[in-house]
């Protein structure tokens, strides 16, 4: 990819580039995170040096698609090998125009912009770009403001009846697998964990009284999560079947009968999704692990918890992200205002 301004692009001909093959992206992430990357330039490698594997893959793929959307490059490897610190501000402005002309929704356009902005931010922090250079580049790719979709915020929440029925069915099943699944679901819907966080838990992350859990979230940020009484009971019941040997808190079950916990490895994120889908199987749409996290946030806000506290519990970097899970509508906000006393006479 040449470091130059992309002049002469016909925006009416722009179409979103196809997704980069997953194997190619995975190989690029491995190279970027190696001690001495060979194909990924340092300016790009810095943007995926930390965080989850999933985030790194998304960032590299989106960065490649953004550059390819200009029509001037068709090889993602060239995009990743480029020294992005040499791209002038006019080039970043052209990328922004290309993003605006290529992708149809503001949320997608913002995600594409963020892939480039992440490179700029990391280059600035590493001293590869001056503060002024980075500021101009970031300003050229300013995210669009998104209106709050109240209907979307109301979707993905489970009713109290749904959750109760699942736990009742699990309680009736005395098998170790059912105890494991009950603990998993309790941690998702009763502690708001992401599925990636749940599978990385170790037994040592749980305190002696089972009242608090140490969780490592996105970006390696560690937080303490208090456990509700029902969650503690579900976890304790699972530990009776699992045992107290060190290792992953949530484990696969052996294929042999009687089934026992396999302590040498943790559950996979796909296994978590399969458990949730199976246990919440019904006539409606399949339930996803994130629906349980969304429900947890909605339940806390409905119960009167303040947004800042809930944000800290679930590990959001900003309460604004937590607000996106708020299922309360206009009526709830109006009721809150009605409680105010304004002494006008």
Catalytic residues: 194, 218, 290, 293, 316, 325
Q: Which two tokens stand for residue 76?
A: 């993602």
Structure tokens at 117: 């902005």
Distance of CA 278 to CAs 119, 201, 282, 287, Å?
40, 22, 9, 9
Tokens 């040499």 belong to which residue? 86
Reported as type and span, the H/E element at residue 189 is helix 176-191
Whether the Cβ atoms of residue 286 and residue 277 lie closer than 8 Å to each other: yes
Residue 331, CA distances (Å) to 86, 115, 151, 272, 334 in order: 52, 37, 14, 36, 5
- Is-contact 183 203, C-beta < 8 A? no
Give the closest residue to 77 by CA, choosing from 113, 32, 117: 32
The 8-class DSSP code of residue 339 comes to T
**3-class DSSP state of 209:** coil
Contacts of 215 (CB under 8 A, 6+ apart): 193, 197, 201, 205, 222, 223, 224, 225, 315
């Amino acid at each position: 990819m040449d470091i130059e301004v992309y002049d002469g692009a016909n925006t009416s001909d722009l179409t979103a580039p196809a997704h980069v093959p997953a194997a190619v992206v995975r190989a690029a992430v491995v190279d970027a995170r190696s001690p001495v990357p060979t194909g990924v330039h340092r300016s790009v490698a810095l943007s995926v040096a930390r965080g989850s594997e999933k985030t790194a893959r998304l960032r590299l793929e989106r960065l490649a698609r953004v550059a390819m959307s200009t029509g001037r490059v068709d090889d993602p490897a060239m995009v990743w090998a480029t020294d992005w610190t040499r791209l002038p501000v006019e080039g970043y402005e052209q990328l922004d125009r290309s993003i605006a002309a290529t992708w149809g929704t503001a949320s997608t356009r913002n995600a594409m912009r963020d892939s480039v902005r992440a490179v700029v931010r990391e280059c600035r922090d590493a001293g590869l770009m001056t503060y002024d250079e980075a500021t101009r580049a970031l300003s050229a790719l300013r995210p669009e403001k998104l209106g709050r979709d109240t209907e979307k915020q109301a979707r993905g929440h489970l009713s109290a009846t749904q959750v109760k029925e699942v736990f009742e069915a699990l309680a009736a099943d005395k098998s170790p697998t059912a105890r494991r699944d009950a603990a998993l679901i309790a941690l998702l819907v009763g502690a708001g964990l992401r599925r990636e966080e749940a599978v990385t838990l170790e037994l040592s992350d749980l305190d002696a009284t089972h009242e608090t859990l140490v969780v490592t979230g996105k970006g390696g940020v560690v937080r303490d999560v208090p456990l509700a009484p029902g969650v503690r009971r579900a976890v304790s019941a699972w530990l009776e079947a699992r045992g107290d040997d060190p290792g992953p808190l949530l484990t696969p079950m052996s294929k042999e009968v009687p089934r026992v916990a396999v302590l040498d490895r943790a559950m996979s994120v796909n296994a978590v999704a399969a458990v949730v889908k199976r246990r919440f199987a019904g006539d409606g749409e399949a339930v996803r692990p994130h629906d349980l996290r969304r429900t947890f946030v909605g339940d806390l806000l409905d119960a009167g918890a303040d947004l800042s506290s809930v944000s800290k519990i679930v590990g959001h970097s900003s309460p604004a992200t937590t607000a996106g899970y708020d299922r309360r509508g206009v009526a709830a906000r109006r009721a809150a205002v009605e409680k105010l006393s304004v002494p006008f006479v």
